[in-house]
Amino acid sequence: MTARRPTIGVFDSGVGGLTVLKALLELIPDADYVYFGDTARLPYGSKSVETVARYAVEAAHFLEAHSAGLLVIACNTATALALDRITAATRVPIIGVIEPGAAAAAAVSGNRRIVVVGTEATVSSHAYLRALEAQGLEAREKACPLLVPLVEEGWIDHPVTEQVARIYLDEAFADGFREADVLLLGCTHYPLLKPLLHRIVPPQVKIVDSAKSTARAVASELQKLPLRASAVHERRALPRLKFFATDSVEKFRRLGERFLGHPINDVEHVDLKE
């Protein structure tokens, strides 16, 4: 009898979480994926903790209903504000993006000094700061609110984007953090800027991508599940990919292809009622 492949649910408030899905596909190609983008209700960063938790739990239940055996919260705001609520409300393993990112930064830092860049909401939550300090690292957080709209505009390697990023990073690495040796990307949009960021960070700095570290955490978690060990016996070569969005399917498809790196075909509109 052919073993059932694992189905991994990935949740984000928009398309940024597709960078996490891209990393998952590269590391775990022998799984199927269901992606939920709550595009009608973004941004989450301007909403209360209670509202973010309610939206995230609704999305988690939706993904469970679509056979997800493990959920990835590929949204820094939802991870920072609602991971405990999501975990308590679901029956499957949950992995967020913050703890894996902090662990990866700790693993590669030589001087235990980290700069974290993210959105206003993520930085205001201090979730990365707490996670890094718990591992004995000194961290500075820097909000970079202009980078997300620049990425969504497609200005990945534009001189304006480079100038904006340079201003943010000059401030982040100033004073006592001139010798910091890790830049932790605390937003799922930022991996698209890695080539640009490599050009402007100080020479000693390693860039840690929370998307890739989250994918490694998922791979480790899957090793604990019985179906993971036997899933390799199914000979279907490619994963099934199913996408759901709460707003325009066309916009999700157009923007999402930049983040995922290949065409997105199977997108369905879904309306989660208030």
7-96+213-269 folds as Rossmann fold (3.40.50)
Within 8 A by CB and 6+ apart from 237, the residues are none
Distance (Å) of CA 135 to CA 66, 71, 112, 153, 254: 36, 25, 9, 36, 39
| pTM of the predicted model as reported, rounded to 2 decimal places | 0.92
Could you list the active site residues?
A: 75, 187
Predicted confidence (pLDDT) per residue in 21-75, tens digit: 999 999 999 999 999 999 999 889 888 999 999 999 999 999 999 999 999 999 9
What residue segments make up the domains of the chain, in order of their start? Answer: 7-96+213-269, 98-210
Q: Which tokens is 36 given?
A: 């939920």
User: Residue 145: pLDDT band by 50, 70, 90 thresholds?
Assistant: very high
The H or E element that residue 206 is part of is strand 206-209
Q: What is the DSSP letter of 246?
A: S
Predicted confidence (pLDDT) per residue in 205-238, tens digit: 999 999 999 999 999 999 887 654 444 445 556 7
Q: Does domain 98-210 have CATH number 3.30.1360.80?
A: no
pLDDT at 235: 52
